Amino acid sequence: MRRLLGDVLLPRATAIALWAWVAFNLALVAWIGLQSLKESGQVWLSPFSLPDDPHWENYGAAWQAAGFSSAALNSAVLTLLGSLLIVALSAPAAYVLARSSRRLAGPLTGYFAMGLSIPLQTVVIPIVVIKLSLYTFMEDWVTGWWDNRITLLIFQVALSLPFSVFVLTGYMRSLPHEIEEAAEMDGAGPLRSFVRIVLPVARPGVVTVLVLNVIGLWNETLLVLLIAPQPGERTLPAALLNLYSSMQYSSDWGGLFAGIVILVYPMIVLYLWLGRRIVDGMTAGISK
């Protein structure tokens, strides 16, 4: 009887807890959106009421005060280039690790998994040293010019590769070998087989890695503060921190919430749109 109650009640209690957590987060997202349309006084006096008169100008004020124009461009370019580079590098690496019969393939996959356990905070000093050395080397000896955003892109790609390779390796292992054997019988080499056959079949896993990296790179803050601290080099999260420091003195809390909406809402919409594909891609290789 006790076991029967556990089998019935535990899943229901877990489902209720998960739905309650989802409802809380959705309510929080909606609450932030409502605050972005209020004047500062109403934010403090009536935090849970609807806006008396929607102040859409809060978005313009936030955009101008934080320099979101250049920050949005930096975020878009770095996120797009970084995500595409990560997929372009991790997909072939994962395919080789998943299909290789050599004894090194297993340990190499483990090393990529170990890379997931290294907190970014533990390598802050090496990152700063490498950034300064690379800037000096490129400016003094190679090109005479260097942009810290290029260094930021390099670090974003390098630090995202362990996760991407690990996820795609599991997904590639779940693919049947017959598709490659059929391609070989048609005279396709390994490279052509990978590009023409494996990548289209592995699209759910690739889309999963791409979307997760887009979300991660879009929200990256610590690396930006370490590598690209200048105003013209900032991305949206760093610009939002600057907005907070200025808005708290001017007490423009509606503008601050508007800045949060500008940063957060696009990623929420992206995740809601592709959420099912992300879950499918993350779970496809578990049985392997």
Rounded distance between C-alpha atoms, residue 246 and residue 163, angstroms? 36
At residue 273, the pLDDT reads: 80
- Could you tell me the fold of the domain covering 66-283? MetI-like fold (1.10.3720)
User: Which tens digit of pLDDT belongs to each residue from 49-75?
Assistant: 888 888 888 888 888 877 788 888 999
What percent of the chain has a predicted confidence (pLDDT) above 70? Answer: 88
Task: Give which of 128, 118, 104 is closest to 226, Cα–Cα.
Answer: 128
Q: How much is the average pLDDT of 76-80? A: 94
Domain ranges of the chain: 66-283
Confidence band of 9 (pLDDT split at 50, 70, 90): low
- Angstrom distance (rounded) from CA 224 to CA 280: 31
Whole-model pTM? 0.83
Q: Which residues contact 258 (CB under 8 A, 6 or more apart)?
A: 36, 58, 59, 61, 62
Burial 128-167 (b: 16+ CB within 10 A, else e): eeebeebbeebeeeeeeebebbbbbbbbbbebbbbbbbbb
5, pLDDT greater than 60: no
- What percentage of residues in the chain have a pLDDT greater than 90? 23
Q: Which DSSP symbol is given to 194?
A: I
The pLDDT value given to residue 286:
47
Q: What is the mean pLDDT of residues 106-133?
A: 83
Contact status, residue 262 vs residue 59, Cβ threshold 8 Å: yes
Q: How far apart are CA 249 and CA 12, in angstroms?
A: 48
Average pLDDT score over residue span 263-277: 81
Give me the pLDDT at residue 287, please. Answer: 45
Task: Choose the weakest-confidence range: 1-15, 136-150, 205-219, 251-265.
Answer: 1-15
Going by pLDDT thresholds of 50, 70 and 90, the confidence category of residue 89 is: very high
Q: Supply the pLDDT for residue 288.
A: 46
